[in-house]
A and B are shown apart, each in its own frame.
Chain A
């Protein structure tokens, strides 16, 4: 799920950036530093949408750098356990398949794929039902439920399932 959230950060700025463009310099450094990062707590910071407030700068002892506390609004992507979302299949193998929802990778193990779907090997590996009506392959769109997240300091990885009501393929690239 995407969230619009207010975060705070102390930015250190070198004195050469001071002057009438101080604010712009500060904001563009913030964007460069923060956008695209991932923290376990807040998820992926996708884009900064606004600056709420820039506090008073504090000179750091000995270096001349000044640190400014900045409050900014941003769009973050943070997956949660139990959440249901749509994702695009990126790779299929006999262990299961990988799907991508925005910046996050989700793995669905073959134990969490309905039992009537069998793995088919070939140049386009896929999972297919015995009557061939439903097929999961690269670029398929699936609706899945996140059942586990592994969160470390700089990465988020999810485990998902499609073995439940109203989950599974929503769009097959071959029939579309």
Chain B
């Protein structure tokens, strides 16, 4: 069980969250964007419907709620573009957590990006405004051509 003090560590910088998680099973965990979760869960739902056939009463509540949520907040719906987003973002030396937050929220300006992912501001990581701007442009292009 995590203690309250452990949890506090995540407050410092979002990028550190994954590092702190290194203590537990989250070591090998991969952060997922909502769009990716949507694809995974839809697959799982199909599988469940297939298995139980006609007698499908209802999806489990957690699954149902999560599916509704990720469908509502998916920025990218096309499987190809979801893959592309991850590819493009991983060129920018982002931590897993940062990548997923940016992919989920799709900030439009450099200011917004730095507000939602405060760890981008850390000096010496090569994320000057210009680099962030390029990143956001790349993201916008994928969205446009989806």
Contacts and interface: CB of A to CB of B under 8 A. Distances in A.
B11 interface: yes
B142 to A, nearest CB: 19
B60 A36 contact: yes
B70 interface: yes
Interface of B: 1-2, 7-8, 10-12, 14, 17, 24-26, 28-34, 36-37, 40-41, 44, 60-63, 65-66, 69-70, 72-73, 97, 100-101, 104-105, 107, 111-112, 115-116
Given A1-B101, A2-B32, A100-B69, A80 B115 contact: no
Contacts of B33: 2
B25 to A, nearest CB: 6
Given A40-B2, A86-B104, A102-B66, A75 B29 contact: no
Contacts of A47: 40-41, 44, 63, 66
A84 B37 contact: no
B34 A4 contact: no
Nearest to B109: A166
A124 B115 CA distance: 32
A77 interface: yes
Query: Secondary structure of the B side of the interface?
Result: helix
Contacts of B24: 41
A35 B60 contact: yes
10 closest Cβ pairs, A-B complex: A5-B29, A102-B69, A36-B62, A102-B66, A2-B32, A36-B60, A47-B44, A166-B115, A4-B30, A3-B29
A34 to B, nearest CB: 11
A7 B31 CA distance: 15
Nearest to A39: B1
A75 B30 CA distance: 9
Contact of A80 (B10, B32, B36): B10
B49 to A, nearest CB: 13
Contact of B105 (A35, A41, A84, A141): A84
Contacts of B66: 2, 44, 46-47, 75, 77, 102-103
A5 B1 CA distance: 17
Contacts of B37: 2, 46, 75
A2 B34 contact: yes
Nearest to A46: B66
Contacts of B40: 4, 47, 49, 75
24 contacts: A2-B31, A2-B70, A3-B26, A4-B40, A5-B30, A36-B62, A36-B63, A38-B62, A40-B1, A45-B62, A47-B66, A49-B44, A75-B32, A75-B40, A82-B14, A83-B17, A85-B104, A86-B73, A100-B65, A102-B69, A143-B105, A149-B7, A165-B111, A166-B107
